[in-house]
Structures are given as structure tokens and as C-alpha cells.
Amino acid sequence: MKISIDNLHKAFESRIRLGIMSALSVNDTLDFNSLKEFLDVTDGNLASHIKALEKEAFIGVKKSFVNRKPNTKYFITETGKKAFDNHLKALEQLIKSQK
Amino acid sequence: MKISIDNLHKAFESRIRLGIMSALSVNDTLDFNSLKEFLDVTDGNLASHIKALEKEAFIGVKKSFVNRKPNTKYFITETGKKAFDNHLKALEQLIKSQK
């Protein structure tokens, strides 16, 4: 028997990152405060996990101005969508192996 | 909408720990080398994750002698079983929310 953890992506180990990816999978774009509210985390914590996912090119940023105020929105990339999907499939496999 | 990551246990964020818990869920006991083989990890890496799970009282250790050689076996505790089960349920919820 070999437990298949190889298909679990290290970038998604943190539950906050799982949460970010989940939220961005079901919403086209979300701004920082909405993400923060969804996940109930601190600014610093959220920012560092967003940065890590951006570095992997799993999420992207859209910067614009709304009423002259800067507005930053995050979205999931195609790469991110595929990687997250594979990760969830691997988790599903692991859960199935327990039943 | 609130993404439920609160029920994901921090102790199980690492995929190696997920693997250890999975392996010990479906085997009554396993020794160090079997776990190592299942998960395809280095000694040091496995040892540190085993230690962390022991500290949480999620896994326990049975030490004995076989042919005068020390034999160390790991098993999942009742606490560990419950916690892992809750974690898998939370992951299942998260996966479902994506469908």
C-alpha cells in the first residue's frame, strides 16, 4: 500500500490558502476586505498567504480606481484553477481511502 | 458567505501528517520503516511529524523487543481518530462547496 500524498500541493497545505482558493473559485473577483471577512483572519496573515499564492501564479491581482480610491481585486488564474482542482481530487482520494 | 476553514485542524495541515493519520487509520499499528515506505519521506522529516502528532496525543507509541531488538510501533489514539475524522469531514464540506 502506498498513501498518495504526492498529488497534494504544498502551496495549499495551509487552511487559509485552501480558504482563499475556495472563495476565489466561486467568486469571479474578491477584494481584500471581502476575503478577510470570509476567512475571519488578520490583515497580515491574509496578506502573506495572498502573496504566496500570487508567487505561484495561482491568483492574480486587478488594480483600479473606484471614485478616485484605489481598489484591489483578486482572482484565480487558469493555472491556479487546475492546481486547486488537482489538489481537491487528491484530497477526495485520501478521504475515500478512509471509508 | 463564510468559507468554513475553522473546522480544519492546524495539526493536519501538512500532507505528511495527513498521510501518517491515513496510514494509521487503516492499520492497527505500523512501525517507523513501514510509515516511511508508505509516505516516501526522509527519516528526519517523518520523525518530526510523528513527534508533533504524538504531542497532540493523536498518535501513540508501543515499544517492545522482538528477538532482543527494539521495536517501535505507532497507533492512532481515540482522540486522534475523532480529530482526524472531523478534519476529513471539514475537507469534504470544502470540496462540496466547490461543486
Nearest residue on chain A to B87, judged by CA atoms? Answer: A95
Residues in chain B: 99
Q: Give whole-number Cα distances, B21 to A63, B47, B56, B86, B90, in Å.
A: 42, 14, 12, 12, 15
Average pLDDT over residues B50-68: 95
* Residue bearing the bigger pLDDT, B3 or B44: B44
Segment A20-74, tens digit of pLDDT: 999 999 999 999 999 998 888 999 999 999 999 999 999 999 999 989 988 899 9
ipTM of the complex: 0.79
Higher pLDDT, A2 or B29: B29
Confidence class for position A96, pLDDT limits 50, 70, 90:
confident
Q: Give pLDDT, residue B3.
A: 61
- Ordered by where they begin, the domains of chain B are 13-86 (1.10.10.10)
Q: Which residues of B touch A38 (CB under 8 A)?
A: 1-3
Q: Is A8 at the interface with chain B, CB within 8 A?
A: yes
Q: Reduced to 3 states, what is the DSSP secondary structure of residue A51?
A: helix
- pLDDT above 70 covers what percent of chain B? 97
**Cα B68 from Cα B71, distance rounded (Å):** 9
